[in-house]
Structure 1
């Protein structure tokens, strides 16, 4: 009940207002290479954005690595049921990520992934590591006042997190041009997506405000909803994922955000499911959520129309998931 009260209060606070996100500088988006035909090994690294500033932002980055990368002690990323929100959110084992192994050859689109209240990036590794294996760099910030280990937890700080997401995007754009950095030359800096669960879903929506940079090409809102000022241009495709019996963020909140959004959008529903058990490998709906989100990212960030066209077949399992779309032209 404590979590329900926290999130209910959060909803009231967030819909009341949200500061505008600071936009990154736009560049022309060059033609891009095809989506990878095979999965990659996965590497992981950590750094801190603005370590000496008033709001340092630790970041976990999962990235595609060559299968033949030099062997290092492997990290078996495990998301455990710790923290109030994590207990009803993503749990289960992720794929193996190796620390600081070389990045695979080429440039990769980037997904900024936002955790929820009382959570951490590693608690979402079952999903984010699989996206990295599919050919995406996934950068997950640990938000200062809402993470599991925050000394001064403040749920109202979620309204400041969209700006943190944009701060991370600007940092990654600079990092790509920084000689000697392991990620330099490997980031497709014109092709970002934002994604997040629960409060991280609200954070994601808050990044799509009026005048946002066209670098941000797509969004995935999982068990979340919109903020005041969300879903203003430029138009970007959005995917909403929500449990039909979510006791923390009701499905109606996600449906309302879907209805408010403009442009191509899809709503992946999980009837009878709660706040995030479908993000656990092996649980009902996980395979469909993974396939649908991966198809969506391949379409929006790699221009893979075949992925868009198979999204419905991959996303829908009768009795487990449903899919509603608008201007997506998915399926045949």
Structure 2
């Protein structure tokens, strides 16, 4: 859970693992097994709204994509944007998740978003607490959108700095409500090992990423002691490009359908999703 306090922005080690992670490889000691179920067969119409959330003096305007006019309940996915980005930069992918039956909440972090007047990469250390607080507010706020959320099925996902934020939610700032995580082009959170109850984890990383190296990302994948998978984009860099968008989006969607709905068909379709376009390979120990 998030409080109103923040960590020191002087924590420069937050970016120390972008070249290599210090986390040691782990064998899987606790498997994540969701209760069997079925993900929605429908493709939902999607609407978007913005909530004016905050944590203390930290403004956290949160863009939410959700199935329009539906009663749910639907799982919640908390998405964290990258450095000098904003949630709407990822709208194409996040809309696809919402079409598949998820409520997707993307906070704009105060010091790492595209228009931040006092941009500070070290402020990533405060973002896991921000993310947990946004989850708190999504679950406690009254309204038609928040009313369709299933509070027992929650995942976190993020890209780059948002991927580091996501890793933090499963390690240094463990939010035990999370059943699954997606880390895109991310690395560890200040070298802190994964902890807490088992969760399903999916990593997506370009083999030619020079911002957060593939070596760093794969090391963090190998350090997860729970059910895990990794989608490696053969010629991918740090951001999703048009040629690998479908493989990335289909794989992440099927992963969420499995991890949060317990759909065995979605799990079985992961290799097919990863193979779209012949641009990626999949390692899976889910």
Determine helix, strand or coil for the equivalent of 1:277: coil
Give the gaps of 5 or more residues in structure 2. Answer: 1-11, 23-33
Cα displacement (A) at 1:313: 1.7
Contact conserved, 1:205 with 1:230, CA < 8 A, in 2? no
Of the two, which has the highest radius of gyration?
Answer: 1
User: Counterpart of 1:292?
Assistant: 251
Determine the C-alpha separation between the residues in 2 that align with 1:13 and 1:163.
20
Determine the C-alpha separation between the residues in 2 that align with 1:184 and 1:321.
36
Contact conserved, 1:231 with 1:261, CA < 8 A, in 2? yes
Contact conserved, 1:207 with 1:230, CA < 8 A, in 2? no
Given the superposition, is the C-alpha separation of residues 44 and 253 from structure 1 closer, same or farther in structure 2, using an over 3 Å criterion? same
2:160 to 189, 198, 211: 198
In the alignment of these two chains, the number of paired residues is 262
Given the superposition, is the C-alpha separation of residues 311 and 64 from structure 1 closer, same or farther in structure 2, using an over 3 Å criterion? same
Determine the C-alpha separation between the residues in 2 that align with 1:144 and 1:194.
19
User: Counterpart of 1:56?
Assistant: 59
| Alignment of 1:215 onto 2:163 | no
Given the superposition, is the C-alpha separation of residues 213 and 151 from structure 1 closer, same or farther in structure 2, using an over 3 Å criterion? closer
User: Counterpart of 1:36?
Assistant: 40
1:268 to 224, 231, 242: 231
Contact conserved, 1:210 with 1:233, CA < 8 A, in 2? no
Provide Cα deviations, 1:110-165, integer angstroms capped at 9, x if missing partner.
10000000001110101001111110000000000000010100000001101111
Determine the C-alpha separation between the residues in 2 that align with 1:321 and 1:240.
12
Determine helix, strand or coil for the equivalent of 2:91: helix
| Alignment of 1:315 onto 2:278 | no
Contact conserved, 2:128 with 2:173, CA < 8 A, in 1? no
| Alignment of 1:167 onto 2:133 | yes
Determine helix, strand or coil for the equivalent of 1:221: strand
Give the gaps of 5 or more residues in structure 1. Answer: 1-7, 18-29, 66-102
Determine the C-alpha separation between the residues in 1 that align with 2:85 and 2:193.
23
Determine the C-alpha separation between the residues in 2 that align with 1:221 and 1:315.
16
Determine helix, strand or coil for the equivalent of 2:219: helix
Contact conserved, 1:206 with 1:230, CA < 8 A, in 2? no
User: Counterpart of 1:155?
Assistant: 121
- Which protein has greater RCO, CA pairs closer than 8 Å, 6+ apart? 2
TM-score (ref. length: structure 1): 0.74
Cα displacement (A) at 1:277: 3.3
